[in-house]
Amino acid sequence: MKKIRNGDILFLYNYDWDILFGVFEADGKGGKSIDRHAWRERFPAQVKIRWSELHRLSKASETFPYLTNRQIVKLPPESTTQFIKALKESPLYSPQAETPPTDQFPTEGLQL
């Protein structure tokens, strides 16, 4: 998390729900407990983010099987390009329009 810098491209993958969210851009450096109330304090490694369009790719591991490997934290450039393309082809997602289960995409503490 400490290697994340302002402007880095980021994605959020929920292992439990197999959903990929993005495309996000880092709005500063990554750090620990930037917002102590975000994610109900379960995930102290954080980075503030911004986005113009939020897309959601369901069943993401069917398209990208390596997502199930929790050791991958940095994607090679070709995978980043594939993620962006797949997300742009996926439906737009609005946390305000839907009420997903809280573990899927908690909006509490989300920087809009």
- CA of 110: how far to CAs of 37, 66, 95, in Å? 10, 27, 10
Mean pLDDT of the chain: 82
- CA of 17: how far to CAs of 2, 25, 44, 81, 101, in Å? 26, 22, 21, 23, 10
Neighbours of 68 (CB within 10 A): 12
- CA of 4: how far to CAs of 16, 45, 47, 63, in Å? 24, 11, 8, 25
What are the tens digits of pLDDT across the range 50-80?
Answer: 999 999 999 999 999 988 888 876 778 888 8
| Locus of tokens 């069917």 | 62
pTM of the predicted protein model:
0.74
Token readout for 9 is: 């491209």
What are the tens digits of pLDDT across the range 29-43?
Answer: 888 888 888 777 788
